[in-house]
Structure 1
C-alpha cells in the first residue's frame, strides 16, 4: 500500500467523521470529493492494465558467444482508454539483456515497439521471460500489475576459434583401414549394387545396371575408411579450478558492430572448464571442416555421448551439447577414457582434454595407443588458474608414450596454445638457450 493511498484513506475517514460530527456542508463536500477521487483512481488503475497485449519475438533461439541475441518487443493498447504510463519488467536470465521499459501515453489502438540486441558473453541456456506489466492511476494512488508467465529459452553455444597453425602430424592422424561395413548413408565409397528394396531412395538407383538387367538395381555404400576423431572432455567435479570473475558489460558503439573485433577480444571466464569447452568446440569444428567424422564423450551433470558423424549438423549437435555441460561429474577422467576407448577402432584418434594432473588418464591413453588408437592430449594448466599442482609426472608419461601434448594457459589465446605441441616447445626453448650461450 502506497503512502498516498494511506494519506487519502485517512483523509476520507477524517472528513466523514467531521461531517457527521459537525453537520457542516464544507466537510460533507470534502468527504464527497475525496471519496470520488479514491473511487475514480481505483477504477482508472483497473482499466489501465486491461486490454494490453505484449508480443515478444526472438530472432533466433540459438546463438554463439561473441554474437548477438536479438528480440523484438511490441506493446499494444486494445482498449478505448489511453494508458498514461506502463512499466514492462522482464525477468530474463541472460546477462545484460535489458528488455524492461517504461512507456508513457499509449493511446487507444496504438502500439509501441522496441528492439533489444545483447552481446552474448558466456555459453549456457538462458530463459527469456516472463514479463510483469505495471500501471496505475494518474495520481499514483493505486498500482496494479499483470504477470505474463510465458517464456522461452535461448541456447548460447560456446565460442570457437580458428586454428590456423594446429597441424597434427600424419602419424597422429593416419587414415584407418577399410571398414568394409555396409551403410544406408551415401558415402564416397561405392561397394556394389543389389536389387531394389521398398524404401530405397531414387537417387541410389544405378540406372546403367538397371537398364542392362531390366530390373531396378540400387547402389550400396561402405563406411568411409578415414579414421574417426573422438573428443573426450573431462568434467569431473574434483578437477575444475575457478577464479573470481564478473562478466564484463558488452561493448557498445561502433566496435560492437565488428564481428572480427568481438571474436578477437572475447574474454573467457578464468575457469578450466570454460577453456576446455572452448578447445573442444574449436577442435571439433577444425576436424569437421576437413570432412572428418567427429564424435564426443563426456560425463558431467549428465552423460553426453555423440556418435561420430560429419557435416554442419554434427557441428550443431556438438555445440549444443557443449553449451550446457557443467563440471559436476562423479566419474574420473581416466575411467571415462578407459571405458569409452574400448569401443574405438584401430587407427581412430582420441583428443583428450583435461585439467587433471593425475597420471592415470595419461596411462589410459597409453593403453589406447598400444591398441593402435592414436592419441592427442590437451592439458588445461590448473597452475595458471591458481591451483598449486604439478603436471611434470603426467607430461613425462605422455612424452614417453610419444603422445602429442598441448597445454592451455589462462589468458593465452587457444589458437596459440594449440599451434605447437609441448615437446616442440621444449625443443624451441632449448635451441633458444643454446643460441644465447653462443
Structure 2
C-alpha cells in the first residue's frame, strides 16, 4: 500500500527535477512551498505530543463476560502550545472494542476522560498502556506516544441460569448398586471431619458435633459415585465461527453454566479439556471450587489436536469413576458415542450438549437425526448461536441418543 508521504516525496522530487531541468522560477517556488509544508507538518505532528502526560485509573482483577470495565485518564498538557486533534486510547488489548476519544487541549490544561468497554470474550487481558496518537492535517505523518500504566484483568465466561437442566429424564435415576431412589447428592459417607469455611450447613453431622463440642461435617467418597465430570471438545478441527461468536466460546459458556448449576446444588464438579494444553480441574467440595473452574475456563483455547473420542479413551479410568458425565461438543462425528457405550459403561448418567456448528457458519444444515439416534435416558441438548441457553438446556425440550447399555442396572423411582 502506497502511503501519502511516499506520494508527497515523489511529487517534491518531480518538481525539483523540473526546476533544475527547466530553470523556471515557478517550479522552484513550488518546490520550496511543498518542502515547507512537509517540514511544517512533521514539526507540528511531533510538537503535538511534546509535553504531554497521561495517568490511568482502572479496575482490575476478576470480571465476567457481559460486564463493563471502566478507565479514567488524566491528561495534562505541560506545553505552551495547544494539542489539536489528539487521539487518546486505552484498553486496546480487549477484543471487539476500541476505547478512545479525539481531544483538543489548551496550553497548560489538564483534562479527565472516562470510558468503558464491554467485556465480550473471556481470557486474561492487559488494560493499557494508554496511548496518544496524532497526525498532521494532510495525513502524512503519524506518531504514537505510549505512557506507563498497565493492569491485568481475568474475564470469566458468562453463565446462564439453567433451572431445568438434568443429567437424565428421570430425577429418580441414580448411581450405585441400590435400586431405591435417594435424595442425597452422593450415595455414601466415607468419614467425618472438622468443619472448614465453605462447607454446606446441610453436611454438618450433628451427633458428632455435640460429642466433640465442635462442628463436624460428613465427608463423601469423592473417588466413587458422588461427582460429575464435564468434558469440553477443544479439538481445533471441529470449531467454527468468528473471533468472538464461535463454537469454542459457546462450548465454554455452556460448560460454565452447567458447572455453576451443579455446584449450586452442592454437586462436586470436575472439568476436563484438551486444548492448547491439557486442563483438568478435579471435583471437590470447597469454597474455591467455582473460582478454580471458572479460572480454567477463562484461559482454555480450542487449539487441541486430539479428537473427542481419543480424549475420552485416554481418560476413561478417570471419567469412569464418576456418577455422571456431561459432554459438550460441536463435532458432527459420532465415533465418540461408541467410546461411551463400550469404555464408559459404568457411568450411570450421561448428558450430551451438541453445539450446532451450522449456526456458526459451517456449510450445510443440521440433521438432528444424525445425533439423536433413539429415545433413552440420556438427554441430548442442542444449542445454537442465537439461541436462548436457558431454554435450550431444558430437559423437557431435549432429544436423546441411544445410551441404553450405559444405563443398564439402574432404575427409576
Contact 2:126 2:152 (C-alpha < 8 Å) held by counterparts: yes
Counterparts of 1:358 and 1:85, CA distance in 2? 55
Partner secondary structure for residue 279 of structure 1: helix
Q: CA deviation at 1:424?
A: 6.2
- What corresponds to 1:229 in structure 2? 228
1:171 aligns with 173
Please report how far the alpha carbon of residue 419 of structure 1 lies from its aligned counterpart in structure 2 after TM superposition: 0.9
**Change over 3 Å in CA distance of 1:293–1:2 after alignment to 2:** same
- Tell me, in whole angstroms, the C-alpha distance in 1 between the residues paired with 2:333 and 2:60: 42
Task: Kindly state the Cα deviation for residue 148 of structure 1 after the two structures are TM-superposed.
Answer: 1.5
Contact 1:378 1:407 in 2 (8 A): yes
- TM-score under structure 1 normalisation? 0.65
Give secondary structure in 2 for the equivalent of 1:156: strand
Superposition deviation, residue 342 in structure 1: 1.1
Partner of residue 101, structure 2: 101
* Structure 2 counterpart of 1:395: 372
After superposition, give the CA deviation of every residue in 1:277-309 in whole Å (9 maximum; x if it has no partner).
221111111112222222211001222211223
Q: In 2, distance between residues paired with 1:83 and 1:369?
A: 68
**C-alpha distance in 1 between matches for 2:210 and 2:397:** 54
d(CA) in 2 for partners of 1:276 and 1:37? 56
Distance in 2, matches of 1:273 and 1:375, equals 21
Q: 1:291 is matched with which residue?
A: 266
| Structure 1 match to 2:345 | 370
CA RMSD of superposed structures (Å): 4.7
Judge conservation of contact 1:376–1:404 (CA < 8 Å) in 2.
yes
Superimposed CA distance per residue, residues 96-132 of structure 1 (whole angstroms, 9 cap, x where no aligned partner): 5333333323332x42111112223333444434444
CA distance in 1 between partners of 2:77 and 2:229 (Å): 55
Any idea what SS the aligned residue of 2:337 has? Answer: helix
- Structure 2 SS opposite 1:179: strand
2:181 maps to: none
Give SS of 2:99's match: coil
Equivalence map 1:337-356=2 (5 Å): 337-344=312-319, 346=321, 348-356=323-331
Whole-angstrom distance in 2 between the partners of 1:46 and 1:404 = 65
Is 2:73–2:114's contact at 8 Å kept on the other side of the alignment?
yes
1:417 match: 392
Q: Deviations over 1:312-361 (max 9, x none)?
A: 64333323322333322111212222333412475522111112233332
Q: What secondary structure does 2:276 align onto?
A: coil
Per-residue deviation at 1:417? 1.6
CA spacing shift, 1:46–1:333, aligned 2, 3 Å: closer
Q: Give the SS at the match of 2:340.
A: helix
Specify whether residues 237 and 102 from structure 1 end up closer, same or farther in structure 2 by C-alpha distance, changes over 3 A only: closer
Gaps of 5+ in 1: 14-30, 194-205, 211-217, 248-268, 427-438
CA contact (8 A) 2:58 2:72 kept: yes
Asked whether 1:324 is paired with 2:299, we answer yes
Are the structure 2 counterparts of residues 305 and 141 from structure 1 closer, same or farther at C-alpha, using a change threshold of 3 Å? closer
From 289, 295, 308, the counterpart of 1:314: 289
The 3-state SS of whatever aligns with 2:189 is coil
What do the CA deviations read for 1:381-402 (whole angstroms, capped 9, x no partner)?
34555446756465337x56x4
Q: Distance in 2 between matches of 1:237 and 1:44?
A: 49
The whole-number CA distance in structure 1 between the counterparts of 2:390 and 2:138 is 58
Q: Is the 8 A contact 1:405 1:422 kept in 2?
A: no
Does the CA contact (< 8 Å) of 2:324 and 2:347 recur in 1?
no
1:10-47 CA-to-partner distances (Å, cap 9, x unmatched) read: 9xx9xxxxxxxxxxxxxxxxx9xxxx999999988766
Distance 2:378 2:101 in 1: 56
Separation in structure 2 between the aligned mates of residue 94 and residue 357 of structure 1, nearest angstrom: 32
Q: Distance in 2 between matches of 1:423 and 1:143?
A: 59
Partner of residue 145, structure 2: 147
Instruction: Mark the CA change 1:366 to 1:145 in structure 2 (over 3 Å): closer, same or farther.
Output: same
Q: Secondary structure of the residue that 1:75 maps to in structure 2? A: strand
Kindly indicate whether residue 57 of structure 2 is the aligned counterpart of residue 57 of structure 1.
Answer: yes
Match of 1:297, SS state, is strand
The answer on whether the counterparts of 1:172 and 1:349 sit within 8 Å (CA) in structure 2 is: no
- Residues 189 and 369 of structure 1: CA distance in aligned 2, closer, same or farther (over 3 Å): farther
Aligned length: 362
